[in-house]
Amino acid sequence: MRCLAARVNYKTLIIICALFTLVMVLLWNRCSSDRAGPFPRSLSGPERRAAASESDLARLQSEEASPQEQQKAPPIAGGFNKAPGLKYEEIDCLINDEHTVKGRREGNEVFLPFSWVEKYFEVYGKIAQYDGYDRFEFSHSYSKVYTQRAPYHPDGVFMSFEGYNVEVRDRVKCISGVEGVPLSTQWGPQGYFYPIQIAQYGLSHYSKNLTEKPPHVEVYETAEEKDRASRSAEWTVPKGCSLSTVSDRAKFTSVKQFIAPDNTEGISLQLGNTRDFIISFDLKFITNGSVSVVLETTEKNQLFTVHYVSNNQLIAFKDRDIYYGIGPRTSWSTLTRDLVTDLRKGVGLSNTKAVKQTKIMPKRVVRLVAKGRGFLDNVTISATAHMAAFFAASNWLVRNQDERGGWPIMVTRKLGEGFKSLDPGWYSAMAQGQAISTLVRAYLLTKDHAFLSSALRATAPYKLPSEQRGVKAVFMNRHDWYEEYPTSPSSFVLNGFMYSLIGLYDLKETAGEKLGKEARVLYERGMESLKAMLPLYDTGSGTIYDLRHFMLGTAPNLARWDYHTTHINQLQLLSTIDESPIFKEFVKRWKSYLRGGRAKHN
């Protein structure tokens, strides 16, 4: 028995020793792992991403990665490729002997918070997801240069304007129901017609029409015999109202005649469209009346109604009703309205310069309701109606050009300290140029000489100095310049000048040698000035908006990145119509500034 007990005790002792050895090995490995880890403690998810982001930032600041290189998979968050034994620790960073910010130190590397770097250097960055990983994306600028379509033609896309959406800008109060063009609140909450914005509205829709697919169009009413059987059931005619199909001599077609007193519900046409939101119809009122469109919206599926009324009221909003005056409409005209824009501008209506932000959107076009006495025809809903918007702008420019050939801007403009205010009625070379570009395209489409004649008259303000209500300035008594803002003293805004030159180019190319002679002379003088003065707008790391630092002796007015890329886009266009190497040289250098490039120092 004693031998058996001894054997048991011997085996037990071996097992205990083995377990003790295993525990010691596990403890040793764990302690070694803690000492070699890259972080002094276990970091939470956001802290780990911040550490990885700071590492990425240091890498991006030390080398210029191409867009293709930036698409490579990011390093694994947590910094496992760091040298073993290094730890993060906080360190005070003294900035210009003025103030201190908290940074992090890792060996000989010091990391500053990006929130501080962003403001100090005016750079941009964000944490983004890529292939399931978080990575930090750094950018020296926030604006992009578009790829130039070469060569430029007066009947083609205007710069990159197919990407412009003028009507959704918060400084556009609404699209006028009477004029069909935007009403600006850029320099005053009351709203005014701004020729630059109207021309851009036209040019953007013209360019979209060239670059987008033809829209889907749903036809709801044509009053034609072949459509009558299928469409008659969709109209609702309450008691006291009437609806009939009659022949109209002016249109040489059948139309719908309606009588619906204001105290009735009105005659209605069921639409039920959930796909598109551009409504269009031909309309003629005999008495005062209205055409309303009922919309089901994303606002808890509530119904909002947009009323188009035969008066001159601009816009009003009450409860869930939005009102746009469309004028008397006592002769046939086509009303085309973007229901998304009309709904959002109405709900966002304010007494300030900016339209209030709103998330409301239409979900379904429920029905059309007509009141009063009048005629309707060609009721459609489509995805887009770009040419209707383009011709609304073109026709507005023809109707509103004054006897001096210009489009007066009826609002006071103060460019900055040291410049005299521009009183209402001033002209802008940028407005003249972009209006010419719009009118030339309307002429090339229609061959209507009213558009070309208007464009030709628009050159008159180019020849007169600002003191005589023109837009011409002369730099150093030598170089002719066409002023976006004809201030006193002259301001020499670069982007507005180049837009004015593009308009002159469009006109000289379209009008021919005889009619376009004046535009050609103005264009050539302007191009000579541009080539001579371009270096004055180069800071070595960006561009300058105007020359107030020279004219007033003040600090330079640096161009924001979006204006900087506009300068590049304009030079790219000009380089396709003028072979002077200066344009391509400046494009190349100014593009490098977007990636942090700088001119050489001494």
CA 266, 270, 272, 276 torsion-angle sign: negative
Q: Is the pLDDT confidence value at 441 over 70?
A: yes
Amino acid code (one letter) for 387: M
Q: Is the pLDDT confidence value at 48 over 50?
A: no
- In eight-state DSSP terms, residue 75 is P
Instruction: Check if the beta carbon of residue 318 is closer than 8 Å to that of residue 131.
Output: no
- Cβ partners under 8 Å of residue 431, min gap 6: 194, 195, 196, 199, 406, 407, 409
Q: Which long-range contacts (CB under 8 A, 24 or more apart) does 46-52 make?
A: 48/77, 48/78, 49/77, 49/127, 49/134, 51/77, 51/78, 51/79, 51/88, 52/77, 52/78, 52/79, 52/134, 52/135, 52/136
Instruction: Check if the beta carbon of residue 412 is closer than 8 Å to that of residue 485.
Output: no
Question: What count of other Cβ atoms lies within 10 Å of the Cβ of residue 282?
Answer: 22
- What pLDDT does 29 receive? 61
- Quote the CA–CA distance of 111 and 550 in Å, as a whole number: 40
Residue in this structure with the two tokens 């002796």, named with its chain if needed: 553
CA 216, 272, 256, 260 torsion-angle sign: negative
pLDDT digits (tens, 9 = 90+) for 271-285: 999 999 999 999 999
pLDDT digits (tens, 9 = 90+) for 220-245: 999 876 655 444 558 999 999 999 99
- In the three-class reduction of DSSP (H, G, I as helix; E, B as strand; rest coil), residue 557 is classed as coil
Q: Is the pLDDT confidence value at 32 over 90?
A: no
Nearest 5 degrees, angle CA 438-CA 529-CA 535?
110
How do 253-260 and 242-248 pair as beta strands? antiparallel
- Quote the CA–CA distance of 373 and 328 in Å, as a whole number: 12
What burial class does residue 404 get, using C-beta atoms within 10 Å of its C-beta: 0-12 exposed, 13-18 middle, 19+ buried? Answer: middle
- What pLDDT does 9 receive? 66
- Quote the CA–CA distance of 280 and 470 in Å, as a whole number: 40
Q: Is the pLDDT confidence value at 38 over 50?
A: no
- Cβ partners under 8 Å of residue 335, min gap 6: 177, 280, 281, 282, 283, 291, 308, 326, 329
Instruction: Check if the beta carbon of residue 286 is closer than 8 Å to that of residue 371.
Output: no
Query: pLDDT class for 381, splitting at 50, 70, 90?
Result: very high
% helix, strand, coil for the chain, step of 5: 40, 25, 35
- What pLDDT does 66 receive? 36
pLDDT digits (tens, 9 = 90+) for 470-518: 999 999 999 999 999 999 999 999 999 999 999 999 999 999 999 999 9
- What pLDDT does 28 receive? 60
- Quote the CA–CA distance of 567 and 585 in Å, as a whole number: 13
How do 303-309 and 124-130 pair as beta strands? unpaired
Q: Which long-range contacts (CB under 8 A, 24 or more apart) does 471-477 make?
A: 471/427, 471/428, 471/429, 471/432, 471/500, 475/529, 475/533, 475/547
